[in-house]
Amino acid sequence: MLDLIRSLVISGETKIVFLSSDGLGGLPRPETGRSELETARLPHLSRLATEAACGLIRHVAPGITPGSGPGHLGLFGYDPLHYQVGRGVLEALGIDFELGAGDIAARGNFCTVDASGRITDRRAGRIPTETCVRLVERLRQIRLPGVEVLVEPVKEHRFVLVLRGSGSGSRLSETDPQVLGKPPLPVRALDDASRRTAEIVNAFVDEARRRLADAAPANMILLRGFDQRPDLPPFPDVFGLRAGAIAAYPMYRGLARLVGMEVLKTGATFADEVATVRQHWASYDFFFLHYKDTDKAGEDGDFDAKVAALERLDAFVPEIRDLGPDVLVITGDHATPSVLAAHGWQPVPALLWSRYCGADPVTAFTERACATGTLGVLPAHHLMPLVMANALRLTKFGA
């Protein structure tokens, strides 16, 4: 499919703004029967929905709850079942770590083991991040032959391990036995190409055990989610777009960088992000803009906070429209219903506005209203071709 799109791309002067409101979709609050989107006052989004083509976006498959990685890959036009991103890679992206080709990344946990080496706490009592930073310094002292070892703190008990230059594979089993009372497992190679990596990792873990012996409760480590950057056809090549990504949170910058977008420096607020779009308006064809607050409130299970986050987003719509995009898309990477306090599998409202988006009966930007829109229930990776068409950047297929 991406090859087909690439073969049809034509150049143009049109501008596209693609806004992902993280965890956008929700569920009705039982007391009122209305979802967050149905409860919020969203005059600008309602008006835009009235003028736009609307629908519901499904990111992976029916019933499958997307993580942020698959959710965004889908929005960027990549089938997330075909292009899978490992957990180690996502953890590295989440701290803005620039993974090179061939780098092998893993998620690390500090954990607690007893005198005989058996795990007593898989998260080392969630040590403070400062302790994590200090202990990561110890792990950074580890030297192994023929490979560069990089260790980065994340948060509390979590860190990232990156092996650079091993020239070996990343198909490895995990060291976390997932239960208490057992020692960490040695890593096993799951294919021949990963044998040398398994040796390196086991040597690293042995050395880590020695260096952390006196650091209880964080006196051992667990490693999982070994992976390398997936080999993705770059977004700017496939779609012929100069693509800039604006996101205050590192994970989303990382995902945009993964597909080859340029990450633009911005501030901590959504107002900063919108200002960044304006500042770079002339230099890019496609702006990926990320809004985090909807997801944060949903994850906290705070229905009212999510309603407020939606209303804050709504207030920015006129400013974004004033930029004069030819195509404006607003959707999300997954649902985060407040009643679930977690990512959900529900399809996510989407609107696509352009001069050519077509007549649509939808007059509100809600789950229920978008279910009746002309986009239907659309796989997320089918959205980008529609965006390209509305930007008049695809020629016809066949004569």
DSSP class of residue 69 equals H
- Note the Cα 340 to chain centre separation in Å: 19
Is there binding between residue 65 and a copy of itself (CB under 8 A)?
Answer: yes
| Cβ closest to a copy of itself, residue 175 vs residue 390 | 390
| Cβ closest to a copy of itself, residue 183 vs residue 250 | 250
3-state secondary structure of 273: helix
| Cβ closest to a copy of itself, residue 216 vs residue 392 | 392
Cβ contacts of residue 207 below 8 Å, gap of 6+? 142, 144
| Cβ closest to a copy of itself, residue 219 vs residue 294 | 294
**x-or-dash string of contact with a copy of itself, 21-60, rule CB under 8 A:** ------xx-x--xxx--x-----------------x---x
CA of 192: how far to CAs of 56, 165, 248, 367, in Å? 43, 17, 40, 48
Looking up tokens 């960490």, which residue turns up?
184
Residues 344-363 that bind a copy of itself (CB under 8 A): 344-347, 355-356, 358-361
Residue 382 CB, shortest distance to a copy of itself, in Å, is 4
Cα separation, 332 vs 25, in Å, equals 7
Cα separation, 224 vs 67, in Å, equals 17
Residue 273 CB, shortest distance to a copy of itself, in Å, is 23
DSSP 19-53: EEETT-----BTTTTB-HHHHS--HHHHHHHHHSE
Q: Of 18, 20, 39, 91, which one interacts with a copy of itself (CB under 8 A)?
A: 91
Q: Which range touches a copy of itself (CB under 8 A), out of 15-23, 67-75, 178-186, 302-310?
A: 67-75
Q: Which range touches a copy of itself (CB under 8 A), out of 188-196, 230-238, 261-269, 375-383?
A: 375-383
| Cβ closest to a copy of itself, residue 77 vs residue 169 | 77
| Cβ closest to a copy of itself, residue 200 vs residue 387 | 387
Looking up tokens 């709504």, which residue turns up?
314
| ∠ CA 171-173-174, rounded to 5° | 130
Q: Which range touches a copy of itself (CB under 8 A), out of 130-138, 210-218, 268-276, 341-349?
A: 341-349
Residue of 236, 355, 230, 335 whose CA lies nearest to 288: 236
Q: What secondary structure, in 3-state letters, does 206-235 show?
A: HHHHHHHCCCCCCCEEEEEEEECCCCCCCH
| Cβ closest to a copy of itself, residue 169 vs residue 337 | 337
Residue 125 CB, shortest distance to a copy of itself, in Å, is 23
Cα separation, 288 vs 252, in Å, equals 10
Residue 118 CB, shortest distance to a copy of itself, in Å, is 24
Residues 95-134 that bind a copy of itself (CB under 8 A): none
Burial (CB count within 10 angstroms: exposed 0-12, middle 13-18, buried 19+), residue 100: exposed
Name 394's bridge partners: 9
Q: What are phi and psi of 365, to 5 degrees?
A: -95, 75
DSSP class of residue 367 equals H
Residue 145 CB, shortest distance to a copy of itself, in Å, is 31
Residue 32 CB, shortest distance to a copy of itself, in Å, is 11
Q: Of 196, 211, 312, 382, which one interacts with a copy of itself (CB under 8 A)?
A: 382
Q: Of 70, 217, 254, 332, which one interacts with a copy of itself (CB under 8 A)?
A: 70
Cα separation, 395 vs 12, in Å, equals 11
Residue 60 CB, shortest distance to a copy of itself, in Å, is 5
Is there binding between residue 398 and a copy of itself (CB under 8 A)?
Answer: yes
| Cβ closest to a copy of itself, residue 56 vs residue 162 | 56
Residue 300 CB, shortest distance to a copy of itself, in Å, is 17
- Is 22 in contact with 333 (CB distance < 8 Å)? yes
Cα separation, 245 vs 262, in Å, equals 6
Q: Of 23, 80, 184, 298, which one interacts with a copy of itself (CB under 8 A)?
A: 80
3-state secondary structure of 118: coil
Residues 199-228 that bind a copy of itself (CB under 8 A): 225
Residues 300-329 that bind a copy of itself (CB under 8 A): none
Q: Of 21, 194, 294, 366, which one interacts with a copy of itself (CB under 8 A)?
A: 366
